[in-house]
Amino acid sequence: MKYSLEEVKKKVEELGSVTKAAKELGIPRTTVSSWMNGVCLPKDEPEYSSVEIKAREFNPMDPICRSYLVRALRNKWRSTAKLAEELSCPEDQIVHAIENLRESGYQVVYRGNLAQISREGAQLNKVVDLNPIDGPERTIGVVADSHLCNRASRLDVLEAAYDEFSRRKITDVFHAGNMVDGEFRFNRFELLAHGVTDQTLYCLDHYPQRSGITTHFITGDCHEGWWTQRDGIDWGKWLVYEARDRGRNDFDYLGFMDVDVALHNEKGVGYIKIFHPGGGTAYAISYSTQKIVESLQGGEKPGLLICGHYHKAIFHMVRNVNVLQAGTTCDQTTFMRKKKNEAHVGFWIVTIQQDRTGAFRRVVPEFYSFFDRTYHGVLDL
């Protein structure tokens, strides 16, 4: 038995369900659904013209109206104002009807006040970020491996770094270890100052100081760490003690070799790990820091790992950890030349933005590179 669209529509409204109506009428559910959504009309059902639709009350949910709009918009641009004029109804009703088509699955695309049903692939799904980036930007300075008291140390680079930090209004600088060169048998003849006291005083006389900037630093197991191994001296505490005695309060000693710094957001916290590891530079520059991150236990991963020691400057990502090798402010020493290790001279400025959980979602690293002394000129201090 054949049914008209009006009969099918009435049965759906009566039973309140497309499935129940299809079962009672003996028509496939997909067919009834297609008729109701205006995808197609029952056989022998006339295709209504705009004149005939005008005689009906325009209803965006009426299958006849929907079917007319589908035919009008399929693969051609139509003006909503023109469609409203054709159907003698307000333009906002046409816009509402087209939106109903889009919400029901039609690929409606817009170009100004023109609309079209496109057959050229599906629209992209909207991504809803449940933890949007909403924290303030934090910009920090990063230096490492200054090796003050060694003749290869680049005081001009350190001064340039702190000049740039001051210009950018950066208040927190992180130093990833080996602020001074220490003393051992293979560096003794490259030193400008000998012994823990003289090297500490040299550091206080020459390490840059700028108003409003605090240098947060760690110590390594090598160089300044040699005094710990030989004499039991924690050089970081020694430096802060001597600095305060001289009226310098810009040094903040974080600890020995491996320290996590918490950055609190409104609803969470993220961590920067400042690390001065051991071992030599690998054949692939990123390999050492890659293995460091891979070795971290679950739950211990920071948002940003800042590594000193290697005198290399590189930024990469491992296991969703932003990894930064901090470079150096010291030219290649005799020991490095012996080991065939190059020095990446310069400093970093890093901008960090967190989401509401504290996770580091945006990290922008900037490396300021320097070349040999003759390129820049010698700073005579």
Residues with Cβ within 8 Å of 246's Cβ and at least 6 positions away in sequence, in order, are 204
The whole-angstrom separation of Cα 184 and Cα 170 is 35
Using alpha carbons only, give the angle 138, 142, 143 rounded to the nearest 5 degrees.
165
Residue 268 pLDDT: 84
- How far is Cα of residue 29 from the mean position of the Cα atoms in its chain? 48
What dihedral angle (degrees, nearest 10) is formed by the CA atoms of 35, 39, 40, 42? Answer: 0
First to last CA, the chain: 103
Question: Phi, psi (5° rounding) for residue 376?
Answer: -100, -20
Look up residue 32 and give its two tokens.
Answer: 């009834």
Q: Write the CA distances from 34 to 28, 64, 66, 192, integer angstroms.
A: 10, 12, 11, 87
For CA atoms 58, 59, 60, 64, the dihedral sign is: negative
More confident of the two residues 315 and 69: 315
The whole-angstrom separation of Cα 190 and Cα 124 is 63
321-331 residues labelled b (16+ CB within 10 A) or e (exposed)? bbbbbbbbbbb
pTM for the full predicted model: 0.67
Query: What residue spans define the domains of the chain?
Result: 38-117, 138-372
Domain spanning 138-372, CATH architecture = 4-Layer Sandwich (3.60)
Domain spanning 38-117, CATH architecture = Orthogonal Bundle (1.10)
Q: Are 255 and 220 in contact (CB under 8 A)?
A: no
* Interval 5-63: pLDDT, tens: 677 778 888 887 878 887 777 777 766 776 666 544 444 444 444 444 444 566 666 77
Region of 145 please: left (phi>0), alpha (psi -120 to 50) or beta. Answer: left
Look up residue 134 and give its two tokens.
Answer: 């909403």
Q: What percent of the chain has pLDDT over 90?
A: 44
Residues with Cβ within 8 Å of 129's Cβ and at least 6 positions away in sequence, in order, are 355
* Interval 182-239: pLDDT, tens: 998 888 889 899 988 999 999 999 999 999 999 999 999 898 988 888 878 889 988 9
Helices (H), 104-220: 155-167, 196-206
Residue 35 pLDDT: 64
Q: Write the CA distances from 369 to 24, 81, 181, 296, 330, integer angstroms.
A: 79, 60, 21, 30, 12
| 38-117 and 138-372 in the same fold | no
- Provide the edge-to-edge strand list for the sheet that holds 214-219: 251-256, 214-219, 172-175, 138-143, 346-354, 360-369
* Interval 105-164: pLDDT, tens: 677 888 888 888 877 654 444 455 556 676 678 999 999 999 999 999 999 999 999 999
Residues with Cβ within 8 Å of 33's Cβ and at least 6 positions away in sequence, in order, are 18, 22
Mean model confidence pLDDT for the chain: 84
More confident of the two residues 286 and 378: 286
Instruction: Report the candidate in 90, 84, 68, 80 with the shortest Cα–Cα distance to residue 115.
Output: 80
**Of 2-11, 254-263, 290-299, where does mean pLDDT reach its minimum?**
2-11
The whole-angstrom separation of Cα 172 and Cα 251 is 10
Say whether 8 sits in a helix, a strand or coil: helix
The whole-angstrom separation of Cα 330 and Cα 332 is 7
Residue 380 has pLDDT above 80, yes or no: no
Quick one: DSSP state of residue 228? Answer: H
The whole-angstrom separation of Cα 274 and Cα 280 is 18
The tokens 């890093």 sit on which residue? Answer: 350
Instruction: Report the candidate in 286, 252, 64 with the shortest Cα–Cα distance to residue 172.
Output: 252
The whole-angstrom separation of Cα 236 and Cα 233 is 9
